[in-house]
Structure 1
Amino acid sequence: MTAPVTDPLRPLEAETYLVTLLTPVTRRALRDEALTQVDPGCFADPMFEHMWRAARALRDDDRAINVRNLLGRMRDDLPQRSPRDHASVQRAARWFEGHAGHVPEVGPFGEHIATVTRCGRLRRLVEVLDSVRAQALEADDPAQALTLAYEQLGKLDQADDDEHVHSYADLLDQFLEAQRTPDDAFIVPTPWTDLNGLLLGGLRAGRMYVVGGRPGDGKSISVLQMAHRCAELGHAGLVLSAEMGAPEVTDRMVSSGAVVEQSQITRRRLDDDGWNRIGEYYNRARSLPITVVDKPNLTLPYIKSVAREAKRRNNIRFMAVDYLQLVGSDSRGQQREQEVAAISRGLKQLSRELDIVVLVAAQLNRENVRAERRPKASDLRESGGIEADADVIILHHRPLIEEGDLKGQPGYTVVLYVDKNRIGRTGFVELDWRAHYATLGSTRQHAPIGGA
């Protein structure tokens, strides 16, 4: 008996995997990422395509995605209530019943996303080529048939890219309008005046800022401090922490915002002055539009899913990730440097897609960075992709002093080197080291890097 022929452009396993993501609560992040990345038309199975369209519609309407709502939406989407249409929904109901309780593994997620997308595009190409062949067989003039073929193939190639194609005349109009309304530009000042000077005003939407440092050099402090400043100025945002839990993130932001020593907060031994400061801070900070995510096993698909949902619901303007090398990858068989490069690229793309400021803490290689020399972008761990993707790289350095390392003591300093800056100057600023308040203080001085 001859085995059935498998159509390579109808990847049943990959399509089944994606559709089984729709109902398990534990796979919600992967589901949301897949719904964003995969167009319903990519599915070869019409039932799966119908399910996927229903899931997208529920997501856009802020309704729960479960079997009951999916089947209800599928019925609502039917053009007519014929017996054939009813049978289609009944088939979907039986399919969900047969897959109840199944939770797909995380590992093959990226591979199946790529497979379904690739096969969907190839099927559309085959359909166009079949149409071109039919027209060529009926054409009286080969030149006319060739022209029609170019038109159809051109439309296929352009189908997903129209929104990214701009005429120069339109761009010039937008340029003049932007120059006439400078206050409309989204620029958020950092807490440090001289750093703002190097950054031409502050943090800008659509750009990724990488803040690097060795453990204990304050990279997390400055990222949280910049995120807190964004929120103080009324901009909603996310803080995603793979290193610290939400209570510790809160401790640090309260210590910085209320100017209360971290030791008092950590030991839960506030004096009267500390209680008064925190009371004042509490009253003004409860309305800060910050959402903290402390998932320990952060992955790029999860970050994208959470950020896109927060953009849709709350119109976030910034996102802080602490820290890059702790973000996991769903890719299999890649070296860690390749994984980190893919994560870095994904975060940069997300900054442009959502038009938000992305702040990313990153570690420096311990073995390459000595206390007596300033760090460089190449010192970033798994640095190749990070260096290429970042719009701005800010590197922390706490130089040794004669008395030794006075970490955490008043009067100590930390230097922030702007080692890469796509739209402004490189240089450095010297700040008060106030780790006991989870804060970097006022600017001491600044200079071009060449004079460092």
Structure 2
Amino acid sequence: MARTPPSSPEAERSVLGAMLSSESALLEGIETLQESDFYLMEHRKIFRAMLRLFERKANVDPITLADELEREGVLEQIGGRAYISTLMDSVISPSLIQEHANLVQEKSIYRRVIEVTDTILAEAYKEERSADDLLEFAENRIFEIRQGRIRREFVHVGEVGEKVFKNIESLSSDPKAVPGVRTGYRDLDELVMGFREGNMIVLASRPSVGKTSFMLNIHYHLSAGDSKVPTAIFTLETGLEELVTRFLSMVARVDSRKIYTGRLSRNDLARLADAVSVLKKAPIFLDATPAISLTELKAKARRIVRDEGVKLISIDYMQLIRGPKSENRQIEVTIVSQSLKAMARELGIPVLVLSQLSRGLERREDATPRLSDLRESGSIEQDADIVIFLHRPEIYAESLATRNIVEVHVSKNRNGPTGKTRLTFIKEFTRFESYTEEEMVDYSDFGEDLSF
């Protein structure tokens, strides 16, 4: 026996009646509901007629509504003028429209979930899709329901002004404070003023320059320090064990080559054991799903922010995210870039996205990265709030003056200046440290040399 889909005809009548009796209720109903939210077909036709009147800037009342329905030839289908009168009688109070509209919308969501579930079941029974494709299909259909229900209200400028002023007061009380999440590098923090809520920050370089290591250093500074800020990393290119090995090398100051070969001194093992203890206490959460879909990444990001209070998400790297199938790669990367920016705003946290650079820069005499070098899509530059390039001059022209130096170029900064700063990169430990003009430290004292 077929079951009747969820609905509330009484609430539907009350909403339509309130919209006919009050202009404020009319606006509330139009903002909250869609035609498909109504279960009864006659109510959909009435709501559609109201929208047409509203769009023509005509009065919306029982008389104009009846005339509009008659002009469309559907007045008798909805029960005639008598039924419109019953709508007016169904109104308890126009002020209750929001409560009743929410009930109508809730029933609509139930029906939509049932429809989507039936579609997913039908696709599963066909067995024509791969399991991964079916899961992505199911996630997309459910996500579309949620996205269709996101409602943004106008906010008075004064309310926002009060919030901004509180932040200003907080910053003014601490001369060293920055408005965003700190990277742990003073010169960079002063330049970009930290990574701000809702911002998408793109970190890009050519391979082997150190962008993944730089990302790990930022997470370590945030999560392993006194503040213990929860952070999360999506690592699409590097496996979990390799990534944590880099963390251990960085924290313990043990040459990563020794770790990979197991040729370690007692002192190295002791420092690594201490590093493991440090990482156990650090709220850093890792996901190493290879070729993760955009939908799955966003779902996991929402969950980790909700459950663990994560304040920074990093993605290594953008071009490995599997976006919606498109006719060309550039459109796919554009969709991924725009979606990550929207995700940052939705979650209200900074999202650090690593990206590749085109090989073209290596054919130039000056190999310093430019915004035009961002690979596969100009949308990355457009969507990003901050674009940071890492450049190691010693790769292109070895000299003592540039040894272990990494230039950090802030080439786009939506909320501040652009500029350049320098860091010292200790490759053996995958570690970045503040740059100093003083003589370079010999880091070989931290462990025995290993011959290859």
TM-score by shorter chain over 0.5: yes
Q: Does 1:322 align with 2:386?
A: no
- How many equivalent pairs are there? 324
Q: TM-score with structure 2 length normalisation?
A: 0.63
- Counterpart of 1:188? 181
| Aligned AA (2:186) | T
Q: In structure 2, do the counterparts of structure 1 residues 186 and 293 end up closer, same or farther at CA, with 3 Å as the change threshold?
A: farther
Please name the residue that 1:170 is paired with.
Answer: 159
- Residues 401 and 228 (structure 1 numbering): CA distance in 2 closer, same or farther, change over 3 Å? closer
Deviation at 1:166, TM superposition (A): 0.8
Call closer, same or farther: CA 1:51–1:413 in 2, change over 3 Å.
same
Match of 1:203 among 195, 199, 204: 195
Q: Distance in 1 between matches of 2:234 and 2:359?
A: 24
CA–CA distance in structure 1, aligned partners of residues 396 and 378 of structure 2: 35
Amino acid at match of 2:208: G
Q: Which runs of 5+ in 1 are unaligned?
A: 1-8, 11-38, 56-91, 122-158, 446-452
Deviations 1:165-195 (A, max 9, x none): 2111222222223223337986332132211
Question: Against the structure 1 CA distance between its residues 368 and 276, is the aligned structure 2 distance closer, same or farther, given a 3 Å change threshold?
Answer: same
| Secondary structure in 1 matching 2:166 | helix
> Could you tell me whether the CA contact under 8 Å between 1:410 and 1:433 is conserved in 2?
no
**Equivalent residue runs for 1:5-404 within 5 Å:** 46=111, 49=113, 105=130, 113=140, 160-163=150-153, 165-182=154-171, 187-200=180-193, 202-232=194-224, 233-329=227-323, 331-369=324-362, 370=364, 372-400=366-394, 404=398
CA positional deviation for 1:259: 1.2
Aligned match of 1:424 = 416
Q: How far, CA to CA, are the matches of 1:98 and 1:346 in structure 2?
A: 26
Aligned counterparts of 1:402 and 1:365: Cα–Cα separation in 2:
16
Distance 1:402 1:336 in 2: 30
Query: Structure 1 residues 336 and 436, CA, compared in 2 at 3 Å: closer, same or farther?
Result: same
CA contact (8 A) 1:189 1:196 kept: yes
Larger mean CA deviation between 179-188 and 99-108 belongs to 99-108
Shift of 1:341: 1.3
The aligned residue for residue 430 of structure 2 is 438
Counterpart of 1:179, as a letter, is: I
**Contact 2:184/2:222 (<8 A) preserved:** no
Q: Deviations over 1:119-177 (max 9, x none)?
A: x97xxxxxxxxxxxxxxxxxxxxxxxxxxxxxxxxxxxxx85344x2111222222223
* TM-superposition CA deviations, 1:69-116 (whole Å, max 9, x none): xxxxxxxxxxxxxxxxxxxxxxx9xx9799679685555857995799
Partners of 1:371 and 1:261 in 2: CA distance: 33
Q: Which AA in structure 2 matches 1:308? A: R
Q: Tell me the equivalent position of 2:444.
A: none
Once the 2 structures are TM-superposed, how far is the Cα of residue 291 of structure 1 from its aligned partner?
1.2
CA 1:259–1:42 in 2, change beyond 3 Å: closer, same or farther?
farther
Q: Does the residue aligned with 1:181 lie in a helix, a strand or coil?
A: helix
- Give the SS at the match of 1:367: helix
CA-to-partner distance for each residue in 1:280-311, whole Å, 9 max, x for gaps?
22222211111111111122111101111111
Taking a change above 3 Å as real, the CA distance of residues 269 and 293 of structure 1, as seen in their structure-2 partners, is same
Q: Contact 2:405/2:424 (CA < 8 Å) preserved in 1? A: yes
The superposition leaves residues 204-227 of structure 1 with CA deviations (integer Å, 9 ceiling, x where unpaired) of: 221111111001111111112112
**Using the alignment, how far apart are the partners of 1:203 and 1:115 within structure 2?**
31
Q: Which runs of 5+ in 2 are unaligned?
A: 1-34, 37-104, 438-452
In the TM superposition, residue 401 of structure 1 has moved relative to its aligned partner by: 7.4
Structure-1 separation of matches of 2:256 and 2:402: 13
Identity of aligned residues (%): 27
Q: Normalising by structure 1, report the TM-score.
A: 0.63
SS in 2 for 1:279: helix
